[in-house]
């Protein structure tokens, strides 16, 4: 599992990012930049419009569910960006 460091952030002001038929959003952590599927594990809410709480969880704006960033990074759909991919965004 990829461990997230404290002080993660969400690229909520960026335009939508689509890849392989999924919508992603950018998450920055102490371990790098990641594209995380913009779909809440609860009922599919847009995590991109949530916020990062003091426990390094993303709080979903739909029902206020809080999901550890480390668990979101461990999803099979999460993409860790390389330096070259970062320039393409």
* Residues at the contact surface with ligand FES, assessed by CB under 6 A: 40, 42-45, 60, 62-63, 65
Nearest distance from C-beta of residue 35 to ligand FES, angstroms: 19
Nearest distance from C-beta of residue 41 to ligand FES, angstroms: 7
- If the CB atoms of residues 66 and 81 are measured against ligand FES, the closer one turns out to be 66
CB atoms within 10 A of CB 16: 10
Nearest distance from C-beta of residue 82 to ligand FES, angstroms: 29
Q: Is 31 exposed, middle or buried (0-12, 13-18, 19+ CB in 10 A)?
A: middle
Give the position of tokens 């993660």. Answer: 8
- If the CB atoms of residues 30 and 44 are measured against ligand FES, the closer one turns out to be 44
Q: Is 44 exposed, middle or buried (0-12, 13-18, 19+ CB in 10 A)?
A: exposed
């Amino acid at each position: 599992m990829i461990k997230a460091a404290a002080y993660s952030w969400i690229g909520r002001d960026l335009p939508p990012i689509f890849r392989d038929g999924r919508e992603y959003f950018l998450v920055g952590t102490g371990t790098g930049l990641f594209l995380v599927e913009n779909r809440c594990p609860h009922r599919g809410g847009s995590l991109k419009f949530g916020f990062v709480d003091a426990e390094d969880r993303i709080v979903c704006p739909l029902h206020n569910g809080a999901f550890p960033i480390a668990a979101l990074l461990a999803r099979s759909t999460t993409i860790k960006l390389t330096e070259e991919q970062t320039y393409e965004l």
